[in-house]
Structure 1
Amino acid sequence: MKRFLTIFFIMSILMTSFAVPAFANEEETTISKQEQQKMVNVAHRGASAHAPENTMAAFHKGVEMKSDYIEIDVQMTADEELVIIHDTTVNRTTNGTGAVGDLTLEEIRALDAGSWFSEEFAGEKIPTFEEVLDAFRGKVGILIELKSPELYPSMVEKVADALKERNMAHTNNEKIIIQSFNHESMELSKELLPEIPHGVLAGLTWAGVTDEQLEAFATYADYFNPNQNIVTPELVDRVHAVGMEIMPYTSRSQEQANRLFDLGVDGIITDYPEHVYHHPVKNN
């Protein structure tokens, strides 16, 4: 009998010692998932570390990697068609040369926008804005950046029309955000699309943004999305204080993503969507 009780006692101790770490790991996993769900994961120009930026391949990769949003750059051709490309020229990301606004849609579509990144993507085309909307509506959020709208006087209206035609201009959509470095264009866009969230992009020169400026932005913008290098805990608090959210750009390393995560931002615009999901969550 003594032997039985001794064995029972030892087994109880062993079971208890193994149970505690198992519970701790389960708790850590649960906290990690909850924290990750709060962080909006934006695939910058699509998952642009894995496929050529602003192509359908990059956008599909962003969806595959379970990003919350794909970020796209909108510009306009000589024949006033909306296309997705970052630079104001085609030189860097295609086999062509010249300004986007000087080329027709037919000329733009004839270019190879994938070979510069990898031969695996040879033949990728510059997509149109409508093509992206039709392919990804309902599948992923779309963060639309109006690129250099000062070069394209009718671009704001054309973007608004394309969204309205697809019934994508309402609050119940909740999957469209429009942003730009050109803040005046955001004021106009908000007038045309009052139910869609808008954001102001802010470069390094906005490091000293004042409370008054943030309050002015908040009259038409829902997001203040700055260069990650000017983000501080104080800035995050001040943006939140005027009722806006903050999604900095562009995270390109795990360390950068971790820093932004710990600063308490609302989303991270990143070339590497996997970095947001791999953030090591601290247990308090």
Structure 2
Amino acid sequence: MPRFLFILITGVLFMGVFSTSGESVSANELKNKDRQQTLTIAHRGASGYAPENTMAAFEKSVDMKAEMFELDVQMSKDGELVVIHDTTVDRTTNGSGQVKDFTYEELRQLDAGSWFSEEFAGEKIPTLGEVLDAYKGRSGILIELKSPSLYPGIEQKVAAALVARNMHKPENDKIIVQSFDHESMKTFHSILPSMPVGVLLGYSEEGVSNEQLANFSSYAEYFNPNKAMITGDLVNRIHEFGMKTHPYTVRDQESANFLLSVGVDGIITDFPDYVDPHKG
């Protein structure tokens, strides 16, 4: 073989190997970049490790380096914004009855930690204001308005709490307000159009239509469905309508892996380390 032809063939082979290697590196870099962009959102705080919706759970979320934590807001009998999931206090405290029938001081007397573990005995039901003050600048917060139809005016009260702390114009969507009650989110959007809003949806066998997504996108920046609804196609459609998606609630590693693989924007989970092992 002539020397010049040998050199030419060798060069072509070398460039092919280099090109293939370069493509592989780029693909890995892209995958890692996408994974880094998937937010870890600690559900009711790191509720797999501490009693849900308590300061202990929110602190654990920060300790585990979750980018955000989610919490639930309701109102006491005397109009205080309180952080608790159920509309009754029975499951997560030593009390019994409807949240709306207790004054703030009565709710503060309840033990919201012992049900989870004696290690957390004496944990209190926090107010939204307490949480905002403690974690402003330390963590993103996903605020869910829980059963807002029970609490007329709750949208205005939450908006006022955010405005009072200059948290109504958050950078990079550090504060998001969401609810299963879509009319409530329309109301909140009308009060504070600068705030990112999320629409929650329970599992539906019918899925979600493009017409629904178009409607949601008219007032919401996020469509956050039950994780069982998520497919690669749905994620793409959500993105096509200019929204992001943070599905809920991951309690196993397999679900976290699947959601990461289809490119969701955030994962709401009881266990932050399921989304990223470095958050353990």
Amino acid at match of 1:226: P
Partner of 1:69: 68
1:200-219 alignment to 2 at 5 Å? 200-205=199-204, 207-219=206-218
Residues 33 and 65 of structure 1, relative CA distance in 2, 3 Å threshold: farther
CA distances 1:76-114 after superposition (whole Å, capped 9, x unpaired): 000010000000000000000000000000110000000
TM-superposed deviation, 1:62 = 0.2
Residues 123 and 27 of structure 1, relative CA distance in 2, 3 Å threshold: farther
Whole-angstrom distance in 2 between the partners of 1:127 and 1:278: 29
TM-superposed deviation, 1:207 = 4.3
Whole-angstrom distance in 2 between the partners of 1:58 and 1:193: 28
Whole-angstrom distance in 2 between the partners of 1:278 and 1:259: 15
Whole-angstrom distance in 1 between the partners of 2:97 and 2:157: 23
Partner of 2:234: 235
**DSSP-derived class of the 1:57 partner:** helix
Partner of 1:161: 160
Amino acid at match of 1:191: S
TM-superposed deviation, 1:136 = 0.2
TM-superposed deviation, 1:34 = 2.7
1:74-113 alignment to 2 at 5 Å? 74-113=73-112
Contact 1:115–1:122 (Cα < 8 Å) also in 2? yes
Contact 1:36–1:276 (Cα < 8 Å) also in 2? no
1:143-162 alignment to 2 at 5 Å? 143-162=142-161
Partner of 1:12: none
CA distances 1:149-168 after superposition (whole Å, capped 9, x unpaired): 00000111000000001111
Partner of 1:220: 219
Partner of 1:114: 113
1:257-272 alignment to 2 at 5 Å? 257-272=256-271
Partner of 1:56: 55
Whole-angstrom distance in 2 between the partners of 1:121 and 1:28: 45
Partner of 1:6: none
Partner of 1:128: 127
Whole-angstrom distance in 1 between the partners of 2:116 and 2:171: 37
TM-superposed deviation, 1:205 = 2.8
Whole-angstrom distance in 2 between the partners of 1:72 and 1:206: 27
CA distances 1:111-145 after superposition (whole Å, capped 9, x unpaired): 00000000000000000000000000000000000
Partner of 2:275: 276
The percent identity for this pair of structures is: 59
Number of matched residues? 254
Partner of 1:196: 195
TM-superposed deviation, 1:29 = 8.7
Contact 2:34–2:263 (Cα < 8 Å) also in 1? no
Whole-angstrom distance in 1 between the partners of 2:204 and 2:154: 26
Whole-angstrom distance in 1 between the partners of 2:77 and 2:173: 32
Contact 1:207–1:230 (Cα < 8 Å) also in 2? no
Partner of 2:171: 172
TM-superposed deviation, 1:222 = 0.3
Dislocated runs of 4+, deviation >2 Å: 26-36, 171-174, 205-208
Amino acid at match of 2:239: H
Residues 106 and 173 of structure 1, relative CA distance in 2, 3 Å threshold: farther
**TM-score, normalising length: structure 2:** 0.87
Whole-angstrom distance in 2 between the partners of 1:92 and 1:258: 30
TM-superposed deviation, 1:225 = 0.1
Residues 60 and 109 of structure 1, relative CA distance in 2, 3 Å threshold: same
Contact 2:197–2:219 (Cα < 8 Å) also in 1? yes
Whole-angstrom distance in 2 between the partners of 1:99 and 1:180: 20
CA distances 1:7-41 after superposition (whole Å, capped 9, x unpaired): xxxxxxxxxxxxxxxxxxx9999667533321111
Structural RMSD (CA): 1.8
TM-superposed deviation, 1:278 = 3.0
Contact 2:53–2:83 (Cα < 8 Å) also in 1? yes
Whole-angstrom distance in 1 between the partners of 2:212 and 2:232: 18
Name structure 2 gaps, 5 residues minimum.
1-24
